[in-house]
């Protein structure tokens, strides 16, 4: 148990591997590319950490679930959000603790949660991948939905795939890798693409 920091990544205790949870509220900057030590090109997304701190630890015995409530200081107002956990996180986080990129390490596997780009009102072909109809002059069924039900039960069933609002949904991407950490500029580089437009808020965690 020597040389184990409270915000460390992984350590060995009684022959069992224990993962300490790491969380971060960030702003998606842009996508770019880097080259690893073997010269292989990797697509990455740059995420800048927002000023945030732990507000309170939510206990299952009192609230029915375990979570870490975080306070984010935006330009105009203070916002709060939660990271759900499997167990009580009082031993891993302290109230008032600042969330920084230095807690992450290269090689960490993270989960990123964000809001996807809004596409507006979209038809069934773009929204659900329907096939288009014949493109000849007399078909009259180029991009229409087609039949949406039978004679019985004489109403449209719930869940029917139809045109409507597309995007702007909460999306979770798992098993992404931290490829670089820059504490001086408060930026981390995450492998691959993450949901949301540039400048949108994302939640990064190791669990």
Is residue 169 in a domain? Answer: yes
Domain membership flag for residue 129: no
Structural domain includes residue 126: no
User: What pLDDT, in 10s, does the model give residues 110-156?
Assistant: 999 999 999 999 999 999 999 999 999 999 899 999 999 888 999 99
CA dihedral 177, 30, 74, 201 (to 10 degrees): -50
What is the per-residue pLDDT for 61?
Answer: 87
Q: What's the CATH number where 180 sits?
A: 2.40.30.10
Question: Domain for residue 190, yes or no?
Answer: yes
**Virtual torsion, Cα 60, 64, 66, 70, nearest 10 deg:** -120
What global pTM score does this model have?
Answer: 0.81
Q: Are 26 and 50 in contact (CB under 8 A)?
A: yes
Q: Is residue 32 part of a domain?
A: yes
CA–CA–CA angle 131, 136, 140 (5° rounding): 70
Low-confidence ranges of the chain (pLDDT < 70): 1-19, 75, 207
Query: Contact 52/97 with Cβ under 8 angstroms?
Result: no
Q: How many domains does the chain have?
A: 1
Residue 8 lies in a domain: no
Range of the domain at 82: 13-119+162-205
Please indicate, yes or no, if residue 81 is contained in any of the structural domains.
yes
Residue 19's pLDDT is 63
Contact 78, 70 (CB under 8 A): no
Domain annotation covers residue 197? yes
């Amino acid at each position: 148990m020597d040389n184990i920091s409270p915000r460390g990544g992984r350590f060995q205790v009684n022959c069992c591997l224990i993962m300490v949870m790491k969380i971060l509220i960030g702003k998606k900057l842009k996508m770019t590319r880097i080259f690893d030590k073997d010269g292989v090109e990797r697509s990455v997304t740059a995420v800048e950490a927002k000023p945030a701190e732990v507000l309170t630890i939510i206990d299952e015995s009192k609230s029915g679930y375990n979570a870490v409530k975080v306070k984010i200081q935006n330009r105009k107002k203070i916002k709060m959000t939660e990271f759900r956990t499997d167990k009580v996180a009082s031993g891993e986080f302290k109230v008032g603790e600042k969330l920084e990129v230095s807690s992450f390490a290269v090689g960490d596997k993270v989960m990123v949660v964000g809001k996807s780009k809004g596409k507006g009102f979209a038809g069934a072909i773009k929204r659900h991948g329907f096939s288009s109809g014949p493109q000849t002059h007399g078909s009259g069924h180029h991009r229409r939905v087609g039949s949406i039900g039978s004679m019985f039960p004489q109403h449209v069933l719930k869940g029917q795939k139809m045109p409507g609002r597309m995007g702007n949904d909460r999306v979770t991407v798992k098993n992404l890798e931290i490829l670089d950490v820059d504490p001086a500029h408060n930026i981390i580089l995450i492998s691959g693409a993450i949901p949301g437009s540039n400048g949108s808020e994302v939640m990064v965690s190791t669990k």
